[in-house]
Amino acid sequence: MTKRLPITILLIVCSFIWCYPQTRSDDDHLREIIRKRGEAEVTVTLPGKTEMDILSKNVSISSVKDNIVHIFLSPLTVEWFISARKSYSIIESSDPKGIAGASSVKEAMEWESYPSLPQYDSIMRSFAVTFPALCRLDTIGASVRGRQILVLKISPDAGTDKDQPEVFYSSTMHGNETAGFVLMLRLADYLLNNYHTDSRIRNLLDNLEIWINPLANPDGTYNRGNEITTPVRHNANGYDLNRNFPDPVSQTGTMQKETRDMIRFMAERRFVLSANFHSGAEVVNYPWDRWEREHPDNNWFYDLSRRYADTVHTYSSPGYMIFLDNGITKGYDWYQVYGGRQDYVTWELQGREVTIEIDNTHLTPETDLATLWESNYRSMIGYIESALYGIHGHIRDSETGDPVPARITVNNHDFDNSYIFSDSITGRFTRLIEPGSWDITFSAEGYLDTVVTDIITFPDERYTLDVEMRSKINPADTIDHEKPLLYPNPGSGYIKAVLPEDLRGEVNIKIFSNTGMILSDYDTGTSGRMPLIIDVNKLSAGSYIIVFRNKGNGVAYRSRLIISGRF
C-alpha cells in the first residue's frame, strides 16, 4: 500500500529545497561568468526565515532590498548554490564603469581616482615620511597572495605606545566595495594636514590613538594584477572575509589568513571603538547581526549610528543614506549574518564596532568619490570623537599603585559579554555608555571587588573615575622566604602560600592528616604564580601537614597548617 504524505509536509519539503530550478544553460552561464570574472552577482526573491538562514550560512549575501536578496557567488560557493535549485536572476555587468586608475601618486592624492597597488603603497609610506611625528606605518599581516595589509597609526609621538584609548577604521574587506578605500586614505591625509590648524582635529589626535586600514582585502580589490579591473568580493581563496570570523554559537568554516591576522592585530590593541566601511547600501549597521535580541548598549549604539546618519543628511543631497530606519539599522533586522567581524569584535574582544555602508554602488565611479567624501567626512570625525566620552579612568593597587587588570561590569546592565577589561599594562579603561546613572563593579583576581555607585554620565561628556583596589594578598606574600609561608595560618576557606625560589615552577601539593592519611594530592601547573591559592574548604578544624615538592628539581618542604574553626 502506498502511503501519502500530508499536504503540509509536502509543502514544507518543497519550500526547503526551493522548487524553482533554473535550466542547465542558466547554470552553465553562471559558471562561465565566475570563470571569467572571478565572481557573479545573482538575486533571489526573499524566502522564508528557514530558507534565508540556509542561504546566509552557505553563500555571501550582500544586501536585502525590496524583498530581493542580492548574493555574490565565488568559485567556492557557486556549486552549492546551483545544487540548491533556487530560482535566480543574474546581474549582468561589463567591466566596471568609472573605475579609473590614477596616472601618478600625485593624481591619486587628489582623491578623485583610484591608485594602483604600487601607488597605494607609496601613498601610505609617504604619510609616515611626511609626518614622522604624527604617523607610523605598520602592517596587520599579509594576504593569501602575500600582499601587505597596511595600517597607519596617527597620533603625536606615533612611534610610542601611549596610555590612551585606541580607535580603528578599516575598509574594503570586500574587495569590490571600493569607495571606503579612497575615503580612508583621504581621511588620513585630512587628519595629518589639519593637526596644527584645526583645534578639533588636534584634540582627537592628542587624546586618542587612531588606526586606519584603508584596504583589508588587497587580493580582492586587485584581483587581476596591480590595477583595479575586475575586483571581487572575496579573498584569493574564494572566502567572504566578513563571514569568516569565529561565530559565537556555530562554526564558520576555515579561517583565512587575513582573518587570523586581523584578529591578532585587534586583540593586541583592544580598540575601544571601531568601524568597518562597506558599499552596496547606504546605512549604518550596528550589533547584533547574529541575534534578534538587543545588545545591552543598544540605546548607545542607536544614538551613535543616528548621529552618523543625521550628520550625513545635513551635508548631503536629499535621498542619500535614508535606507531602512532613515539610514540606520540593527543588523539582524536587515538580514542575519554568521561570522561577521562586527559581532566578533563586540562579543569576543569587548570592543564596540559598527558596519558603515556608504554607497549603493559597489564599484563607486571615481566621479562620485568627492561627493561621498563631502557627505561623510564630518560623520567619520564625529564617530571617532565618541571615544572621548563615557567613563574613563585607571585601576591601581591601593598599596603599590601598580596597574590592575580588572573586569569592569555595569551592574544590572551588562550581559552578553558587554563588560570590558582594563589595560593589563597601564590599568586604563574606557567604558562607552549612554547617559544615565550607573553602579559599576571592578573585579580582579587576587583583589577584593570594588563597587562604585551613582556614576552620572551626560551626552558628549567624559566622566573620569580612578579606582584603587585592595589586594587579598598580605604584603608579606611579596617577600622572599627560606621556606614556605602560609597565610593566614591558622586560617580557613582559602590559604595563600608564598614559596621560596627553589620551589617555584610546577609544584606537587599533598596535605596529610596527623595520622598520615593523604587528604589532597594535586599539581599546580607551571605558571610559577605567587602566591599559590590553596582550597581548604573541605578540611575541618584541626592540624595538618602540607608538603610542597618541585617536580623539576625534587626540592621539597613540609609545613604545618592549622585550620581554624568555622562559626
* CB neighbour burial string for 46-74, b if at least 16 within 10 angstroms, e if fewer: ebeeebbeebbbbbbbbbebeeebbbbbb
- CB contact at 8 A, 556 and 550: yes
Would 100 be classed as within a structural domain? no
Question: Could you tell me the sign of the dihedral formed by the alpha carbons of 45, 51, 57, 59, in that order?
Answer: negative
Domain identity same for 422 and 315: no
Q: Is 255 exposed, middle or buried (0-12, 13-18, 19+ CB in 10 A)?
A: middle
Q: Which domain holds residue 35?
A: 7-90
C-beta separation of 149 from 258 below 8 A? yes
* 434 lies in the same domain as 520: no
Asked if residue 98 belongs to a domain, the reply is no
Question: Do 319 and 191 belong together in one domain?
Answer: yes
Backbone torsions φ then ψ of 517, nearest 5 degrees: -75, 130
C-alpha–C-alpha distance, residues 75 and 40, integer Å: 9
Longest dimension (CA), the chain: 89
End-to-end CA distance of the chain, in Å? 77
pLDDT of residue 17: 35
Phi, psi of 544 (to 5 degrees): -140, 160
In a domain, 309, yes or no: yes
Q: Which of 472, 500, 475, 471 is nearest to 485 (CA)?
A: 500
Domain final residue, candidates 57, 90, 123: 90
pLDDT of residue 251: 65
Look at residue 2 and tell me if it is in a domain: no
Asked if residue 488 and residue 446 are part of one domain, the reply reads: no
Quote the Cα angle for 508-512-517, to 5°: 120
CATH, residue 462: 2.60.40.1120
* Number of compact structural domains in the chain: 4
Q: Count the neighbouring beta carbons within 10 Å of the beta carbon of residue 3.
A: 4
**pLDDT digits over 293-305, tens only?**
999 999 999 999 9
97 domain residue, yes or no: no
Q: Is residue 54 part of a domain?
A: yes
Last residue of a domain, which of 469, 502, 517?
469
Give the integer Cα–Cα distance in Å for 565 and 567: 7
Report residue 14's pLDDT band, with 50, 70 and 90 as the boundaries. very low
Of 405, 394, 484, the closest CA to residue 447 belongs to: 405
Percent of all residues in the chain with a pLDDT value above 90, rounded to a whole number: 75
Helix 199-207 and helix 369-385, axial crossing angle in degrees, nearest 10: 60
C-alpha cell at 330: 540593527
What value does the mean pLDDT take over residues 206-218?
Answer: 98
Query: What confidence tens digit (pLDDT) does each residue in 499-546 have?
Result: 888 887 889 999 998 778 899 998 887 655 567 888 888 888 788 999
Contacts of 517 (CB under 8 A, 6+ apart): none
- Of the residues 416, 444, 469, which one is the last residue of a structural domain? 469
Please state whether beta strands 209-213 and 420-421 pair in parallel, antiparallel, or not at all (unpaired).
unpaired
Among the listed residues 294, 282, 232, 267, the one whose alpha carbon sits nearest the alpha carbon of residue 423: 267
Please tell me the pTM assigned to this model.
0.81
pLDDT in tens, 120-166: 999 999 999 999 999 999 999 999 999 999 999 999 999 898 999 99
Higher pLDDT, 47 or 474: 47
How confident is the model at residue 98, as a pLDDT? Answer: 45
Residue type, 391: I
| Catalytic residue numbers, as ranges | 357
Element (DSSP H or E) covering residue 122: helix 117-130
* 95 located within any domain: no
> Do 115 and 44 share a structural domain?
no
Indicate left, alpha or beta for 180 from its phi (over 0: left) and psi (-120 to 50: alpha).
alpha
Note the pLDDT of residue 248. Answer: 82
